[in-house]
Every structure is written in C-alpha cells, then in structure tokens.
C-alpha cells in the first residue's frame, strides 16, 4: 500500500477507532472504509491484551485505508499506563511497518524527533499533538502553543480542546486560518461540534466522524458528515447558517437545509449551535460569513433584544424564529416563519376533512373554534397570534401563569393555571395545540392533557417533531381527532427560512421528499 504523503489540501474524514480487540479493530477499519472514511485513527491504548510484537504487524498489514497510530499514555488522557520506553518503541515500530502517520505528544516530541530523525523525509508523517482542557487562553497564547508544536519538526500539528462555550471556538477558527503547516484543531463535546463541521471552511485538513452504531460522544457520525453536511464541499466562501438553541442535538435542520442548499447550488452550510449566552454569541460571530440563524428553545423571545430590526409580524407576536444578516450593512433582521407554518398546517388538515356545517362560508375553518394552547413560549405565541387572525377563541395554559395571562391578553383570549389543564373540559370540536417540549425525545410517553378529553377535540396539533408521531398524536388519533404533526409545521417554517436565507425560492417538493423519507 503506497503512502498518501502529507494530508491533502481538501478536507479528509477520519474515524477514531477505540476497539477493544485486534479482531474488532480490523473489522472496524473495514467498516470505516465501507462507510466512506478517508483514513482511520487507531487508539492502541484501548486494546486489551495488546502485544506490539505479536499484533502490530497484523493491524498495519490489514489496513484497508491510511492509518494514524496513537498510543496515548494516562498522563495525556489515554489508557496506557505501562513503560514509556516500550510505548515509544511501539510507535516507532508502526512507522517501520508502514503506517502513514504516527501521533506524538508535545511533551515527548522534541526528544523523539531529534533522536530518531523523524522530521526528515519519510513516508510516515509525524503528527505532534496537544490537549488543552480549557480554551481560556488568548488567541496569542494558543498561537504560541501551535508554534511550539511546529518547532519540533512536526509534519502536522494537532490541538484538541474542551470548550465550555461556543464562542471559544472562534479561537480555533483563527488558528486554522493562520497556521503555516497542516493543523488538525477541534473541540470536544456538544458545544464544540461546529469546530468539526466548520473546520474545512477555515482551512482544517481533517474532520472526525464516528461509525454508525458506534458513536463517539461529541462527534458527528461519518454518515452525517458525508450525507448531511458534505464537508468535502465546504470552502472559504461557504456561508454559515445554523440553529441557535439549548439543547440542540435533537435538531433535524441540517438534514433538511444542507441537501436543499446543494440542490439549488447555494454555497451554504447549516449547523447546530449550542448557545449559552446570546450576547456573547452575536458579539463573537459578527463576521458576514455567519449569515443567518434559526432560533429554537429557549431563545425565540429573548433573541429579539439582539436584532437590529424586527419584521412587523414577529414584533406583534413577540417572538423570532429566523434571523438574517443583511448583506448591505450586516444588521440582524428578525422574522417569524412559525406563525403561518403552524396555522396553515392546521387549516389544511381541517380542510382535508371537508367543509361542513356552513364552514365553507367562513374566512377560515378555525373561525369561531375554541383554540386550546399549551405553552406560551415562542412557538405558542406564534400559534396564538395565527389563531387570533383566523377568528379562533384562544385559551392559554402555561406553567408560568403570568406569562399565560399576558399572552391571552395580547390575543383577546383567556388563560387558566397550568394545573387545571388535566381537568379542563374543552368545547366539542375544539382545537388543541401543544407548544411545549412535553413528549419530545427522550421523554416520549408524556402528554400535556388528560387522555379522556381528547375525544372532544376535532384536531390535535403537536409542535414536537421528535418523534414524528408523538404519544399525544397517537392517543388523539385513537380518540378520533384529526392529527397534525410538528413535522408539517417544521417543513413549512423551514421553507420560509430557506427563502430568507438564500433570497430565492425554496424547492418545496424536494424538501417535502426529504422530510417524508428522513423524519
């Protein structure tokens, strides 16, 4: 197997393998190749009963694609706690056997590189790595650290951090943009996810992804890197969009927006953004490269404070679910695409039933109906204002009774304390809309109302879309109600967002096909 030389300029996808046996490791390498990996990182310290002289030749000779050999000691966060001399000899043996890359910790790299002349021309390239527990250091301090790694004679440097806030990742992007030799840099955990996904935009040469069925915490799956994000297509000109939320791992936005960007030839990428502090986030990511956002729980109301302008509909609702950075001046413009998305989804479901009892003469099938809303947050506000414009009579429940009363007042409706919801008896033919996370994965078995009242609702809508058919919808359907999934609202609001993000017209049928096949 020939050497691949120094990592390519285009981004490569690597799978870290922490297999427990040699047999499993060989099988995992083959699986990684079949799933589309460009190379694999072998964590030898995770192997049990590993004998280098006996097993290393089998591993290296069985590789179906290039390998990075890592033998991480406990003093650097690994599992190897044996003799240091034996550990380093194992890495050198991997080099002699033909491994494309070996990884050396910064603490030992200088001595080993000089003693064994590893920096000289060789088929095996040396990665010098360092783990920083926090990124409290300045850009300058991190640059100095990378310079120290470069000074060892490394062919490639690697910096791994543990971010406590998404804003810290801007320092990684700065390093990637300015490093003089190939740099692998990323942060672990959910808050660090975009350091992997956006690395290619800023010059990163390697992105890590985990195998299907063997996911590594904090890493995207190999399948998502290839299919949803298509990281090989991300470049310096790619515009960044994302979901601002907390938590964010449930988001289906990337598997809808990214393929649609590619379908219309728009150079953009949509990523999940775990945000703790809105002000810090907008202050740090002010570059035009960060061009727009979806806004999720719990920020749809709070984010209005950070918009330079708010569309009149969003202002009247008091909630923003979409932000676009205006090209001409960089100002943040807030919109609400939830309102029409949710209300038209409910209306269309009612119309599909057939217009009876004079409803054909009404402005909307919602006109005059009791509209029971559970949840007065951002999604709930959009639903209630939409229902009001259609002539429905809104009844609001929220765990924060003051918030429920405030929303009811704004839509000329009524409010009741949340604890009364279980005994609340709706009018026959009422509409129920759940705009709370109740029933969302992983707490899928809860419903927000009493099961015995479901037979009184003509239609039940659930803003939750993970899972696609919630327990509430299942029970409501069994009780005879028309059900409307949050997936339908999600699709319609995403169409509106796509139009705002790109300035074009969303391919609605293409997006619907994705939703039907992937959600």
By annotation, the residues acting in catalysis are 300
Q: What are 41's strand-pairing partners?
A: 16, 68
Whether residue 207 contacts residue 196, with contact meaning beta carbons closer than 8 Å, is answered with yes
Helical axes 139-151 vs 106-116, angle rounded to 10°: 20
- What strands, in cross-sheet order, belong to the sheet with 39-43? 183-187, 156-161, 125-132, 101-105, 67-70, 39-43, 12-17, 206-208
Strands in 370-374's sheet, in edge-to-edge order, are 414-417, 393-398, 370-374, 430-434, 457-462, 482-484
Pairwise CA distance, residues 47 & 400, whole Å: 52
SS3 state at 502: helix
d(CA 122, CA 501): 47
> Can you state the angle between helices 139-151 and 169-178, rounded to 10 degrees?
50
Using DSSP bridges, classify how beta strands 414-417 and 393-398 pair: parallel, antiparallel or unpaired.
parallel
Q: Which residue in 134, 142, 207 sits closest to 172, CA to CA? A: 142
Residue 102 · residue 94 · CB < 8 Å: yes
Integer-rounded Cα radius of gyration of the chain: 27
Number of residues that make up the chain: 519
| Alpha carbons 454 and 434: distance in angstroms, whole number | 13
Q: What end-to-end distance do the CA atoms of the chain give, in Å?
A: 41
For residue 382 the two structure tokens come to 């959009």
Q: Which residues of 118-136 are buried (b: 16+ CB within 10 A; e: fewer)?
A: bbeeeebbbbbbbbbeebe
The first and second tokens of residue 80, run together, are: 């190897």
Q: What share of the chain is helix, strand, coil (3-state, %, to 5)?
A: 40, 20, 35
């Amino acid at each position: 197997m020939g050497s691949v030389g120094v990592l390519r300029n285009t981004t490569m996808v690597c799978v870290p393998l922490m297999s427990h046996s040699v047999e499993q490791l060989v099988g995992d390498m083959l699986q990684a190749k079949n799933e589309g990996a460009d190379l694999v990182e072998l964590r030898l310290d995770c192997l049990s009963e590993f004998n280098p002289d006996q097993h290393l030749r089998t591993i290296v000779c069985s590789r179906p694609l290039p390998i990075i050999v890592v033998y991480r000691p406990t003093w650097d966060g690994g599992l190897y706690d044996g003799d240091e001399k034996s550990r380093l000899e194992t890495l050198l043996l991997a080099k002699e056997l033909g491994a494309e890359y070996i990884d050396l910790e910064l603490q030992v790299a200088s001595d080993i590189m000089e003693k064994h002349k590893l920096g000289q021309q060789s088929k095996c390239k040396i990665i010098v790595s360092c783990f920083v527990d926090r990124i409290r250091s300045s850009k300058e301090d991190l640059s100095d650290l990378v310079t120290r790694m470069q000074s060892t004679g490394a062919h490639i440097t690697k910096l791994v951090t543990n971010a406590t806030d998404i804003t810290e990742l801007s320092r990684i992007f700065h390093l990637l943009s300015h490093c003089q030799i190939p740099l692998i840099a990323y942060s672990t955990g959910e808050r660090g996810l975009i350091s992997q996904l956006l690395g290619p935009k800023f010059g990163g040469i390697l992105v890590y992804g985990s195998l299907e069925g063997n996911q590594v915490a904090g890493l995207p799956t190999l399948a998502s890197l290839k299919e949803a994000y298509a990281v090989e297509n991300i470049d310096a000109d790619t515009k960044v969009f994302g979901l601002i939320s907390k938590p964010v791992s449930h988001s289906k936005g990337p598997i809808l927006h990214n393929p649609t960007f590619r379908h219309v030839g728009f150079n953009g990428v949509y990523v999940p953004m775990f945000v703790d502090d809105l002000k810090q986030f907008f202050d740090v990511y002010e570059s035009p490269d960060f061009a727009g956002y979806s806004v999720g729980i719990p920020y749809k109301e709070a984010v209005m404070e950070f918009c330079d302008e708010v569309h009149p509909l969003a202002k009247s609702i008091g909630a923003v679910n979409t932000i676009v950075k205006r090209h001409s001046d960089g100002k943040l413009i807030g919109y609400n695409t939830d309102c029409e998305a949710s209300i038209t989804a409910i209306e269309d479901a009612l119309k599909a039933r057939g217009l009876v009892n004079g409803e054909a003469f009404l402005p909307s099938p919602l006109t005059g109906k009791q509209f029971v809303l559970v949840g007065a947050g951002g999604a709930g506000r959009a639903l209630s204002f939409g229902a009001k414009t259609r002539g429905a009579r809104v009844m609001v429940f929220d765990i924060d009774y003051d918030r429920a009363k405030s929303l009811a007042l704004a839509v000329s409706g009524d409010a009741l304390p949340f604890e009364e919801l279980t005994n609340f008896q709706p009018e026959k033919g009422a509409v129920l809309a759940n705009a709370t996370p109740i029933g969302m994965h992983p707490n899928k078995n809860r419903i927000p109302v009493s099961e015995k009242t479901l037979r009184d609702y003509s239609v039940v809508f659930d803003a939750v879309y993970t899972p696609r058919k919630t327990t509430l919808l299942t029970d409501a359907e069994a009780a005879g109600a028309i059900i409307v999934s949050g997936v339908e609202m999600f699709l319609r609001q995403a169409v509106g967002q796509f139009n705002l993000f790109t300035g074009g017209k969303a391919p609605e049928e293409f997006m619907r096909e994705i939703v039907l096949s992937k959600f």
